[in-house]
Homo-oligomer: A and B are copies of this chain.
Amino acid sequence: MELVLGIDGGGTSCRAAVAGPDGTIIGRAKSGPANIRTDLTGARANIVEAARLALIDAGKDPALIPEIPALLGLAGSNVGTYRQQLEAILPFPRSIVESDALIALEGALGQADGAIAVLGTGTAFMVRKDGQVRTVGGWGFLIGDQGSGGRIGRDLLEETMLAYDRIREASPLTQALLAVFRDNPRDVVEFTTTAKPGDFGGFAPMVFEYAAKGDVVGERILARAVSDIEASLGVLDLREANPLCLLGGLAPLLEPRLSQKYRAMVRPALQDALGGAVAMAVRRFGEGKAHG
């Protein structure tokens, strides 16, 4: 039986699935973060650990790793030479590293045309049209990821400081945020010294909660996020007949706020990104075999 590995790695965890030649998953596992941009060695270790545990979960010998090809979808693999560096040090006989967005697209749509909007700590958009894939966004918290949880949380902190300085109006939401920091704006600044995008994103649900109650600052922050997301959707040139899958932790919160035009196109994803990685692994490594 010829096995394949599909791997989905990001900044918070790494998931692996081992599957037979028909794509049936027989084992799954999860390990720690696999951020190849900030910790390549640690990412490699967690990738191998997830693969090892998935083999054990499937009742297979983890010593088989050097014999099982792997397809990995990894955040950050589209920047710099991290992808090539990683491929060079992985223990699999063949490794294909793709972006995390591409395995999400494959999972959501299979090989059909359509689009995904990843709405989580970050945001990214991908459309497949006549088989051609185009990516929009996904440039990270500092200069991109408009409409993301990270940006929504950051916007709340900025609005709170502006309210403290009486430059913008305060609201129940900005007051509640400041209360989290013991009503001390200096503690808010202190938080930002080491906060990562996911830490900012931790405040996003609070923005939705207060906006639902009509909070003026919450509404303003979300109006901007939705406007930014729709601007990205706008350049994807979507076809009404093709599915649009909203992925990521904020998708259920953001979907009702999108305009009718986009909501009408939304379909559930066929499977998750890990399933997409497995499906791609079966296809790519199968192709290789057929051709070789």
Interface residues of A (CB under 8 A from B): 37-38, 78-80, 136-137, 139-140, 142-144, 146, 154, 157-158, 161-162, 165-167, 185-190, 192-193, 195, 231-232, 234-235
Given A144-B161, A231-B167, A235-B165, decide whether A139 and B193 contact each other with a Cβ distance below 8 A.
no
> A146 contacts which chain B residues (CB < 8 A)?
162
B157 close to A136 (CB less than 8 A) = no
A143 close to B235 (CB less than 8 A) = no
B189 close to A139 (CB less than 8 A) = yes
Docked CA distance A162–B145 (Å): 10
A193 close to B37 (CB less than 8 A) = yes
A38 to chain B minimum Cβ distance, whole angstroms, is: 7
Q: Name 14 A/B residue pairs within 8 A (Cβ), A-sorted.
A: A37-B193, A79-B189, A79-B190, A80-B187, A136-B167, A139-B185, A142-B154, A142-B195, A143-B158, A143-B188, A144-B158, A165-B235, A167-B232, A167-B234
A38 close to B193 (CB less than 8 A) = yes
| Residue in B142, B154, B186 whose beta carbon sits within 8 Å of that of A143 in the complex | B154
Docked CA distance A38–B194 (Å): 10
From A78, A154, A190, name the one whose CB has the most chain B CB atoms within 10 angstroms.
A190
Docked CA distance A118–B234 (Å): 40
Docked CA distance A166–B154 (Å): 25
| Residue in B136, B144, B186 whose beta carbon sits within 8 Å of that of A78 in the complex | B186
| Residue in B37, B143, B188 whose beta carbon sits within 8 Å of that of A161 in the complex | B143
In the complex, what residue of chain B is closest to A153 when comparing beta carbons? Answer: B143
> A161 contacts which chain B residues (CB < 8 A)?
139, 143-144
Docked CA distance A272–B36 (Å): 45
A86 to chain B minimum Cβ distance, whole angstroms, is: 15
CB-CB nearest 6 A-B residue pairs: A143-B157, A79-B186, A143-B158, A142-B192, A136-B165, A139-B161
> A185 contacts which chain B residues (CB < 8 A)?
139
| Residue in B158, B166, B234, B235 whose beta carbon sits within 8 Å of that of A235 in the complex | B166
